[in-house]
Amino acid sequence: MNEMKKFGSAAAANTGLLLFLAAVPAMGASADVGSALVMGVCVFVLALLTALVVCAVRKVLSGDAVIAAAVIVAAGFASLLVMLLRAYLPAVYPTVWMYLAVCAVNMMLVSQSEQGLAQAVRASLIFLGAVVLTAVIREVLGAGSFAGVALPFMEGYKLSILTQAPGGFIVFALVMAVLGGAKKGE
């Protein structure tokens, strides 16, 4: 399981790799700004809580047991968040819940990085930024609205493909290129 730790540290330190590993929930929940914001906040909370508990658990357990513990903890918190979403945000729940569950698996990786809590917070903030940016582009250009509010100047210029699955790939690729290129100064 050392490869898991190396992978986790590499992902936590490398923005490009992190964005790529977070591609699934980022693309899935970025069809509109509301879902993206909810997803980003949920992932931040999930990452923070998982890292806190795993940091404590790591002092008691070792080796493979930490991975199993990280899975249980992350999935438990994800289940809790899914239930809260179902109860208090039923409009967003159908879009977001499966991707939040998938995040639980990826949290296992972040919790394996050496720096734990700090890297988990950094990673989830980067994710929040990327998913909201992707959602803004997709909703404004694809649906001609922003956070559900119709934009009159976009009437007649909507590219509806951007709100569908292919649009998620295309817009996220552009976001990755922009964020990765900005970091390298290109």
> Which residues contact other proteins by CB under 8 A?
1, 3-4, 7, 16, 19-21, 23-24, 27-28, 67-68, 71-72, 74-76, 78-79, 82-83, 98, 101-102, 104-106, 108-109, 161, 164-170, 172-174, 176-178, 180-181, 184, 186
Angle at the Cα of 120 from the Cα atoms of 54 and 84, rounded to 5 degrees: 75
Least Cβ distance, residue 153 to other proteins (angstroms): 26
Q: DSSP string of 53-102?
A: HHHHHTTT--THHHHHHHHHHHHHHHHHHHHHHHHH-TTTHHHHHHHHHH
> Whose Cβ is closer to other proteins: residue 23's or residue 37's?
23
Distance CA 26, CA 2 (A): 27
> Whose Cβ is closer to other proteins: residue 151's or residue 158's?
158
Distance CA 102, CA 91 (A): 20
Distance CA 149, CA 38 (A): 17
Q: What is the dihedral of CA 127, 81, 166, 175, to 10 degrees?
A: -10
Distance CA 76, CA 151 (A): 40
Least Cβ distance, residue 70 to other proteins (angstroms): 10
> Whose Cβ is closer to other proteins: residue 106's or residue 122's?
106
Least Cβ distance, residue 74 to other proteins (angstroms): 8
Least Cβ distance, residue 97 to other proteins (angstroms): 9
Structural contact between residues 19 and 179, judged by C-beta atoms closer than 8 angstroms: yes
Least Cβ distance, residue 14 to other proteins (angstroms): 11
> Whose Cβ is closer to other proteins: residue 77's or residue 116's?
77
> Whose Cβ is closer to other proteins: residue 15's or residue 144's?
15
Least Cβ distance, residue 155 to other proteins (angstroms): 24
> Whose Cβ is closer to other proteins: residue 68's or residue 150's?
68
Q: Which of 161, 141, 164 lies closest to 151, judged by CA?
A: 141
Other CB atoms within a 10 A radius of the CB of residue 150 amount to 10
